[in-house]
Amino acid sequence: MAKEVIKVANLEKYYQKRHVLHEINFSIHEGEVVTLLGPSGSGKSTLIRCLNGLEPYQKGDVIFNGEKVVPTEKNWQQIRQKIGMVFQSYDLFPNLTVLENILLGPVKVQHQSREEAKVNAERLLAQVGLQDYENVYPRQLSGGQKQRIAIVRALALKPELMLFDEVTASLDPEMVRGVLNIISNLAQDSNMTMIVVTHEMNFAQQIADRVLFLEDGHILEQTKGDQFFKQPQTDRAKAFLESMDF
């Protein structure tokens, strides 16, 4: 059995009095691709953001690489270097060039040598087809290009786990394919462990080893990817899939 990269045990999250995540339990092993599916407002993004400490949680534990995370900002800061995250809004730093965006983490946070980090950055840029964009500023890029750079920026830290939070939700339809292909390649060629929140059902079906289906902050089912799409166990998931029309 591959090693357990991340495990969530009895996690509970509240926004003030509102209970948004209920008794969340799951674990993910090395190389596994898990997609988080569920209707809007079901808590997918909140859950994924708890995994690298961007959202505090009130009960339960996140166990990363076998070690329980003591949720202080300092600890999270260490762990985030090993968990790459890509957001819907890409959020490249507009004050830095593409290359500087990518090098910031490796050089300033991980203290890699600039040369070494640059070689790695250029390799990654080439993989996403943007090798000529090193010295360009983000505002000169299209949405799809920005999101590809954001993925590279996260990968540059050589993470052990990648979190994708609706990364194609704000892209033009024709840009979506390119970004999704990069994520698929990452799963297949690099055997990256990842958790993907998405509304692209075809894509989810194609890459998911396992699906976590959330509603109202509960995990309603955890099913193997192909099985979830063919025979969801719960009626709610069935209704959800039918409504998605893919």
Partner 1 sequence: MGSWQIIQQSLPLFEKGFVLTLWLSFVGIIGSIIVGLICSLLKYFQVPVLGRLAAIYVEISRNTPLLVQLFFLYYAFPVFGFKLNAEMCGIVGLIFLGGSYMSEGFNGGFDGVSKTQVETGKAIGLSRLQLARYVVFPQGFTLSVPALAANIIFLIKETSIFTVIAIPELTNTALDLIGMYYRSNEYLFMLVIGYAIILIPLSIILTILEKRVRYGTFGN
Among 11, 151, 157, 219, binds partner 1 (CB under 8 A): 157
Query: What is the amino acid identity at position 243?
Result: S
Question: Should residue 122 be labelled a site residue for partner 1 when binding is judged by CB under 8 A?
Answer: no
Question: Should residue 80 be labelled a site residue for partner 1 when binding is judged by CB under 8 A?
Answer: yes
Q: Closer to partner 1 at the Cβ: 80 or 218? A: 80
Q: Closer to partner 1 at the Cβ: 83 or 195? A: 83
Q: Assign 3-state DSSP to the chain and report helix, strand, coil percentages, each to 5.
A: 40, 25, 35
Which are the contacts of 81, defined by CB distance < 8 A and separation ≥ 6?
105, 109, 110, 157, 159
Q: Which of residues 35-74 bind partner 1 (CB under 8 A)?
A: 52, 54, 73
At 39 the three-state DSSP class reads coil
What is the residue whose two structure tokens read 């840029």? 125
Among 38, 84, 225, 232, binds partner 1 (CB under 8 A): 84
Question: Should residue 81 be labelled a site residue for partner 1 when binding is judged by CB under 8 A?
Answer: yes
CA distance 240 to 212: 13
Region of 92-100, 203-211, 220-228, 238-246 interacting with partner 1 (CB under 8 A): 92-100
Shortest approach of partner 1 to residue 107 CB, angstroms?
Answer: 10
Instruction: Label residue 207 exposed, middle or buried (CB < 10 Å: 0-12, 13-18, 19+).
Output: buried
Shortest approach of partner 1 to residue 164 CB, angstroms?
Answer: 12
At 214 the three-state DSSP class reads strand
Question: Should residue 210 be labelled a site residue for partner 1 when binding is judged by CB under 8 A?
Answer: no
Question: Is 162 in contact with 85 (CB distance < 8 Å)?
Answer: yes
Question: Should residue 13 be labelled a site residue for partner 1 when binding is judged by CB under 8 A?
Answer: no
Q: Closer to partner 1 at the Cβ: 92 or 212? A: 92
Among 69, 85, 195, 212, binds partner 1 (CB under 8 A): 85
Shortest approach of partner 1 to residue 68 CB, angstroms?
Answer: 20
Question: Is 38 in contact with 215 (CB distance < 8 Å)?
Answer: yes
85: β partners: 163
**Closest residue by Cα to residue 185 from 165, 172, 203:** 203
Shortest approach of partner 1 to residue 238 CB, angstroms?
Answer: 34
The full DSSP string for 64-125 is ETTEE----HHHHHHHHTTEEEE-TT----TTS-HHHHHHIIIIIIS---HHHHHHHHHHHH
Contact string (CB under 8 A) for partner 1, positions 124-143, x = contact: ------------xxxxx---
Question: Should residue 105 be labelled a site residue for partner 1 when binding is judged by CB under 8 A?
Answer: yes
Q: Closer to partner 1 at the Cβ: 85 or 214? A: 85
| Residues at the site binding partner 1, with contacts judged by CB under 8 A | 52, 54, 73, 76-78, 80-81, 83-85, 87, 89, 91, 93-96, 104-105, 108-110, 136-140, 150, 153-154, 157
